[in-house]
Chains A and B, each alone.
Chain A
Amino acid sequence: MAKSAYKIGISLIFGLLLSFCSCSVLAAIDTYQFKDAEKQARFQKLTNELRCPKCQNQNLADSNAEIAADLRAKIHLMLEQDKSDQDIINYMLERYGDFVLYQPRLSKQTFLLWYAPALLLLFGIVAIGLIVHLRTKGEQKQSDNPSTDLDAEQQQKLAQLLQSKK
């Protein structure tokens, strides 16, 4: 029993490892040659961060769409021309708009995307603070004077009732 469980465990781990391997193999194979490793690294970074305009949820590095291949070629060319990363990103933005960025820029349309988490956190803190504040205030009020809600007449009635019970 224990042995078969062990076997299953091993095969699961092995399968998991295999699936990690296949991820890197699936990525489109590029044969671009770079003179230095630094440009190679920038190429990898850019093609990973830029989105393929044709395919909805793939970056340029992973996509086999023709347009993605064209854009990879263009990035390669621009890197060889010593263009900066920002130049390349701007080039893409001019043509395909914000869609190509996986990391959206801060703009009128996206400020909520960037600031909503902080705003919600702030809202939560304020809400908790307010609730705690109201509760402690209410408890204090009750402990200070338990019968503040009753007016003179009601107090009298209460006393009477208590008396009559005895």
Chain B
Amino acid sequence: MARWLLFIPLILFIGLGVFLYQGLSIDPTELPSALINKPFPDFKISDLKQPDKQLTKTNFVGKPVLVNVWATWCPSCREEHQQLLKMAQEHKIDIIGLNYKDDRDLALQWLQTLGDPYKFVIYDKDGMLGLDLGVYGAPETYVLDAQGIVKYRHVGVVTEQDWQKLQGMING
């Protein structure tokens, strides 16, 4: 039998090793959004700060925006809030809030005490827009292009590092 055939098991082992090693660095909690490169779902929901005002997609389509899903019952959202305020102060992109399954009074109080980074806030009380968007836990942040197409979803707290990454995506 040819000598080189004896190396087949070694080669198979190395191949399997490389394959499994790559698997170690995959984060199973990071799910790609099913909406990537698809339009943001249509909605008609009242504004958090002006209950009589109905918001729709036309309120933000036209330039790239970030849509940040948050709620007062979500501890990580509190953690993220400072970063959002900082991002808002940089005035690079409008941040739109999506208040997800929350209480209006509590949410307003939150914005009053912690500061308000949002251009406006969609008050998704029953979470129907969240459902259409495929939200599975706050906070989540979506990057939308000028046509209102979802380009990226970030799950979890946006850190300064993530913000740099998001900016690259917005400009690129």
A binding-site residues for B, Cβ under 8 Å: 53-54, 56, 66-67, 70-71, 74, 93-97, 99
Check: B24 CB closer than 8 A to any chain A CB.
no
SS class of chain B's interface: helix, strand, loop or mixed? Answer: loop
Stretch at the interface among B31-39, B42-50, B82-90, B110-118: B31-39
B137 contacts the other chain (Cβ, under 8 Å)?
A: yes
A-contact 0/1 string along B1-33, CB 8 Å cutoff: 000000000000000000000000000110111
Count of chain A to chain B residue pairs whose CB atoms are closer than 8 Å in the complex: 33
Told that A66-B101, A67-B137, A96-B136 touch, could you supply 11 new A-B pairs with CB distance under 8 A? A53-B31, A54-B136, A56-B29, A67-B135, A67-B136, A74-B131, A93-B34, A95-B131, A96-B134, A97-B32, A97-B34
**What is the CB-to-nearest-CB distance from A160 to chain B, in angstroms, rounded to a whole number?**
32
> How far is A67 from B74 in the complex, measured between Cα atoms in Å?
14
A-B contact pairs, 18 of them (CB 8 A): A53-B134, A54-B136, A54-B137, A56-B28, A66-B101, A67-B135, A70-B127, A70-B131, A71-B131, A93-B34, A95-B34, A95-B35, A95-B132, A95-B133, A96-B34, A97-B32, A97-B34, A97-B134
